[in-house]
């Protein structure tokens, strides 16, 4: 069990002791080692921010990548972490053909990629697999 911490204050001449919630440092250290900090709610992909649709985390107006927690951004957001990035959407349409898995087709670097929306031809949103 984690130790309890408290604050001893003198307020209006009367001693007051405020007890703080316990902190589990082992949990935080373990989560950091996994590359994750408390994940919180998931990103809402795709999301709309200033009339533009985002299919993945963005650094628009920020030094770090972030995502909206709502499909239409209303001020709720978080910094993207390892598990927050957009997932591939299968099946997806590319070149009027349906793909069920990642593909090298159309890749200049010959790396596998996938669409982040059901129709790459319309949305042009993608990532490497």
Label residue 71 left, alpha or beta by phi (over 0 means left) and psi (-120 to 50 means alpha).
alpha
Neighbours of 92 (CB within 10 A): 24
How far is Cα 34 from Cα 36, in angstroms, rounded to an integer? Answer: 5
Domain boundaries, the chain: 47-84, 92-128
pLDDT at 59: 95
pLDDT digits (tens, 9 = 90+) for 28-85: 333 443 433 445 789 999 999 999 999 999 999 999 999 999 999 999 999 999 888 8
Among candidate residues 77, 81, 99, the one with its CA nearest the CA of residue 90: 99
Q: List, in sequence order, the alpha helices (H) in the chain.
A: 25-33, 120-123
pLDDT at 39: 57
CATH architecture, domain defined by 92-128: Ribbon (2.10)
Q: What's the predicted TM-score (pTM) here?
A: 0.60
pLDDT digits (tens, 9 = 90+) for 95-124: 999 999 999 999 999 999 999 999 999 999
Residues 6 or more apart from 24 whose CB is under 8 A from it?
2
Q: Which two tokens stand for residue 23?
A: 């902190």
- Per CATH, the number for 47-84 is 2.10.10.10
């Amino acid at each position: 069990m984690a130790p309890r911490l408290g604050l001893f204050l003198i307020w209006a001449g009367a001693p007051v002791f405020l007890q703080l919630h316990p902190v589990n440092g082992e949990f935080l250290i373990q989560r950091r080692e996994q590359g994750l900090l408390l994940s919180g709610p998931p990103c809402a992909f795709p999301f709309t921010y200033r009339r533009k649709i985002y299919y993945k985390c963005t650094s628009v107006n920020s030094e770090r990548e972030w995502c909206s927690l709502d499909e239409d951004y209303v001020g709720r957001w978080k910094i993207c972490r390892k598990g927050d990035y957009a997932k591939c959407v299968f099946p997806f349409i590319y070149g009027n053909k349906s793909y069920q898995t990642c593909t090298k087709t159309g890749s200049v670097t010959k790396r596998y990629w996938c669409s982040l929306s059901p129709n790459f031809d319309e949305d042009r949103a993608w990532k490497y697999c």
